Chains A and B, each alone.
Chain A
Amino acid sequence: QSVLTQPPSASGTPGQRVTISCSGSSSNIGSNYVYWYQQLPGTAPKLLIYRNNQRPSGVPDRFSGSKSGTSASLAISGLRSEDEADYYCAAWDDSLSGRWVFGGGTKLTVL
């Protein structure tokens, strides 16, 4: 059971806009930044969004992040076949002695 909750799957057709949610608590999302990672099949994770809504250089502006309270969302607009991947949210958690926590991951299928 992951500390951050994501839907296990999401889907969309090319050109559509899809969103992936990430739900946490006051000790993680509620008080710290959220990060999003993309993992293409058979590869290492890649940073997609940092500090809630910032994109590293090289990440298309089709990807955007937002946060409200203890929840966050990743939006992908103009969906493309190469976006088919697993997506993970992550945050620092202030509880216990401190730890990083990940969501369980969302498998995005482009129909």
Chain B
Amino acid sequence: QVQLVESGGGVVQPGGSLRLSCAASGFTFSSYGMHWVRQAPGKGLEWVAFIRYDGSNKYYADSVKGRFTISRDNSKNTLYLQMNSLRAEDTAVYYCAKTQYGDYPRYWGQGTLVTVSS
């Protein structure tokens, strides 16, 4: 069965950096696009970024463009989110999600909490 396990969250100061990872198993990782979606405490879902199965195309929300970079290592079945110049408003649980045909988020991990605070 599909398993997605996020890691790398924690507390970071404003302006700092963090790299999230999402370890995938139970499916052919290199065949599917992947998303990052976040949820601020007590708030709704906000899409962050998407990467195609081969890394050829990447899309970002305006709120993170130029600061966050999505990437993947298909040899390691792992998705990444490099987050730079972090702001207080980036505080959220970050979920990775596997797509299904049509690129929509189909299966979700349990999330990892990122807190940006001094």
A binding-site residues for B, Cβ under 8 Å = 2, 33, 35, 37, 39, 43-47, 50-51, 56, 86, 88, 90, 92, 96-105
Contact = CB atoms under 8 A, between A and B. Distances in A.
Contact of B44 (A33, A35, A88): A88
B80 interface: no
Contacts, number: 63
A98 B46 contact: no
A51 B100 CA distance: 11
Interface of B: 35, 37, 44-47, 50, 59-62, 95, 100, 102-111
A105 B45 contact: yes
A50 B44 contact: no
Given A37-B45, A88-B45, A102-B44, A44 B105 contact: no
Nearest to B110: A44
B50 A100 contact: yes
Nearest to A51: B102
B61 A99 contact: yes
A56 B100 CA distance: 11
A96 B107 CA distance: 26
Given A47-B105, A56-B106, A100-B35, 7 more contacts: A33-B104, A47-B106, A92-B103, A99-B60, A100-B59, A102-B44, A105-B45
A98 to B, nearest CB: 5
A60 B114 CA distance: 34
Contacts of A47: 104-107
